Amino acid sequence: MDAIGRISLSCLEANNHSYSNTRIQWVLDMVLSRRRFLHKAAGLAAGSVCGMTFASAHAEIHLGDIRLDVVKDGSLTLPGALIFDPMPQADLNPILKKYQLSATQLTRPCNVTVMRQGERTILFDVGAGAGFSPDTGQLLASLDSLDIAPEDVTDVVFTHAHPDHLWGVLDDFDDPLFNRARYMIGTKEWDYWLNPNTVTDIGEARASFAVGAERRLRMIEDNVQFFGDGDEILPGVVARATYGHTPGHMSFEVRDGSTSVMILGDCIGNHHVAFERPDWPSGADHDQTTAARTRLSLLDQLAHEQIRIIGFHLVGDGIGHVDKTPGGYRFVPEGL
């Protein structure tokens, strides 16, 4: 039961159930107003800390009656070893130098895709929320710049259940933030994180990921719809299996006629090594062999068909396309 439900029950039980319907509605309105105030305050605070003007902090794409906006949840700074350790270090160093990267620390943007079509407002992933990382948790401010409140969101679609994609699903009351939305996630991804063996099998370094994912998914399980590879989950949106980064990672092709955009999530997780050497294992992936195979196949298709992409951790707004090069591939961002 969420905070509203708990207060409603409290009102009904008080004074031998003597509260009027008007009084109960007043209490509910007060709780909702407090939530809206906190959400607005969180958004303003994030904007102030980052020095961002959120009205211009997004990019947009139009496909027929579909509008896609890419907004920020901030950025994520991680040890370079998390990605680079399994790679051949002698061959890696020239790539790091080419892109002016540190081998010890990487900072990556967190790009959340918003889709609007008719009466629907859809989020692809929900960011990390407050408390996961000092520079994440800015999604509410970004949505506010588009005049989107949490209660306006009709659907939330998850690429996968890593913290920076899932943990923003709960609010400050530890209740579902997007409380009027339905949630959609791939069956294979759901089964993995809800498997009681995952918390031990995943390894000590990621055990907290498993605990956090299970808790949040349990909070929304009464309002979840599942899908598989090739399913049209929304009009014009088809799920695409891109396994490896997590066991059930999914991407989404948004199409209008012959024009399409691929929302990648983390199956292509950076703008440098993932493109230059997609065949290399990445320490960020659960199944490194499968993830490399996914990258190679997907990059080949994206380059050949010149499909625009939106990457959660790609530079700029994450929007661009893929070019094939003599030795691999190259991300060509838009707007930089």
| pLDDT value for 86 | 97
Pick the CATH number of 52-333 from 3.40.50.300, 3.60.15.10, 3.30.530.20, 2.60.120.1440: 3.60.15.10
Instruction: Find, among 288, 261, 335, 284, the residue nearest to 106 by Cα.
Output: 284
Distance between CA atoms of residues 278 and 251, nearest Å:
17
Task: Flag whether pLDDT at 52 surpasses 60.
Answer: no
- Structure token digits, residue 260: 């399409």
| pLDDT value for 58 | 58
- Structure token digits, residue 32: 């909702």
- Integer CA distances (angstroms), 243 to 68, 111, 255, 293, 329, in order: 24, 20, 21, 9, 20
Distance between CA atoms of residues 140 and 168, nearest Å:
10
| pLDDT value for 130 | 84
Domain ranges for the chain, please list them: 1-51, 52-333
User: How does residue 59 score in pLDDT terms, banded at 50, 70 and 90?
Assistant: confident
Strands 224-227 and 182-186 turn out to be: parallel
Helices 187-194 and 207-220 pack at an angle, to 10 degrees, of: 120
Residue 75 exposure: Cα atoms within 13 Å on the Cβ side: 16
Give the percent of the chain with pLDDT over 70.
Answer: 82
| pLDDT value for 155 | 98
- pTM comes to 0.83
In tens, the pLDDT along 192-251 reads: 999 999 999 999 999 999 999 999 999 999 999 999 999 999 999 999 999 999 999 999
Hey, which bits of 168-297 come out as E strands?
A: 182-186, 224-227, 232-234, 237-241, 250-256, 259-265
In tens, the pLDDT along 90-137 reads: 999 999 999 999 999 999 999 999 999 999 999 999 999 988 899 999
